[in-house]
């Protein structure tokens, strides 16, 4: 039986005093035993939280009673275990970072397409279908016939568009992402660039998997989610993937059978590129996690400096890889 209700939510709305909302929203989450992450910025709110059904309902009621979030929509799914370790309400420049100043879905945005109308749209030969998610998300699932921009970060998407106008030359462009927020911003950007017939999946992949019967679905694989469930399937059931702590890519049971898989340390994808010092740190961290579990405790004292270092190392490597790709393209 699934014990925890997961709520994914976002809303683009002008919040001139968004900083003042941080403390009361954090308190409402803490008071109701809710965990996860919510982002606040001048352009709105975004995040995913989990808790008991009673706790989530209480939080949503609290948010709906705020004038700014009266019509806030959310998507629900269930998890057998709590998918988050802590609750954070963070202040950001953007609730989804694309890095293009002035792009505002409240002013201009693509055409919303309901999940039950999506299949007809993407089956149209005049439509080019683009997956706006990151490479590690696309790795485990996408819509049939979708183009994978192979971006490592949503910030890379505008550059991909500028380099691929020929790929986007069909009369219509359809785009999708996990919950819909990246597509609201990306379609706004596309419209600003002169693309007229731009569409996006309302509610994202999650809403599609929730509402469209599996036998009618054009979705192939599983959908990556940003919590401890790692992925979900049709009906928003928990998926089959785990995640490598070293590189953060989703991994399968077969990956875990590899001699290069070390739980909490590395997987076949990152084994060769992971420095020994980093492997030792990760192994010690995993040891502490295992000991905490044996005592019936949750190990949440993750070294945040280490986490930031891992993220920086990953970003540097991604830039190096992209430079090699660009160089190879230039020499062809």
Judge whether 223 counts as a catalytic residue: no
CB 35 within 8 A of CB 51: yes
Pick from 100, 77, 47: nearest CA to 226: 47
Instruction: Please provide the size of the chain in residues.
Output: 332
Return d(Cα 300, Cα 221) in angstroms, integer: 31
Return d(Cα 135, Cα 133) in angstroms, integer: 7
Q: What is the DSSP letter of 17?
A: T
C-alpha distance from residue 142 to each of 138, 139, 147, 208, 255 (Å): 6, 8, 9, 12, 20
Q: Burial of 107 by CB count in 10 Å (0-12 exposed, 13-18 middle, 19+ buried)?
A: exposed
Pick from 14, 8, 5, 6: nearest CA to 69: 14
Question: DSSP per residue over 269-282, as a string?
Answer: TTTTTS-HHHHHHH
Name the phi and psi angles at 91, rounded to 5: -100, 130
For 21-133, strand residue ranges (E) read: 35-41, 44-51, 74-79, 87-91, 111-113, 127-131
Return d(Cα 186, Cα 191) in angstroms, integer: 9
Instruction: Identify the active-site residue in 29, 177, 266, 270.
Output: 177
Known catalytic residues?
177
């Amino acid at each position: 039986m699934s014990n925890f209700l997961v709520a994914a939510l976002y809303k683009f709305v002008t919040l001139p005093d968004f900083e003042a909302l941080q403390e009361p929203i954090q308190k409402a989450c803490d008071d109701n035993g809710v965990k996860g992450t919510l982002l606040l910025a001048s352009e709105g709110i975004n995040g995913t939280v989990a808790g008991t059904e009673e706790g989530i309902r209480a939080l949503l009621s609290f948010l709906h009673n705020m004038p700014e979030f009266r019509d806030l929509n959310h998507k629900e799914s269930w998890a057998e275990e709590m998918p988050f370790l802590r609750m954070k309400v963070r202040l950001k420049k953007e609730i989804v970072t694309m890095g293009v100043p002035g792009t505002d879905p409240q002013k201009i945005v693509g055409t919303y397409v309901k999940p039950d109308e999506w299949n007809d749209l993407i089956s149209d030969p005049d439509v080019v279908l683009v997956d706006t998610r990151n490479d590690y998300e696309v790795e485990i699932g996408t819509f049939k016939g979708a183009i994978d921009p192979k971006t490592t970060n949503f910030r890379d998407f505008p550059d991909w568009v500028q380099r691929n106008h020929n790929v986007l030359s069909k009369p219509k462009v359809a785009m999708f992402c996990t919950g819909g927020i990246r597509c609201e911003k990306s379609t706004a950007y596309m419209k600003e660039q002169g693309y007229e017939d731009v569409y996006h999946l309302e509610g994202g992949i999650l809403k599609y998997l929730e509402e469209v019967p599996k036998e009618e679905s054009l979705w192939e694989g599983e959908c990556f989610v940003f919590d401890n469930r790692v992925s979900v399937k049709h009906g928003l059931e928990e998926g089959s993937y785990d995640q490598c702590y070293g590189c953060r890519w989703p991994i399968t049971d077969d990956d875990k059978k590899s001699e290069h898989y070390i739980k909490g340390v590395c997987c076949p994808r990152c084994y060769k590129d992971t420095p020994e010092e980093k492997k030792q740190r990760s192994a010690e961290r995993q040891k502490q996690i295992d000991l905490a579990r044996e005592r019936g405790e949750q190990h949440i004292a993750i070294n945040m400096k280490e986490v930031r270092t891992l993220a920086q190392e990953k970003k540097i490597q991604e830039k190096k890889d992209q430079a090699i790709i660009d160089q190879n393209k230039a020499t062809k």
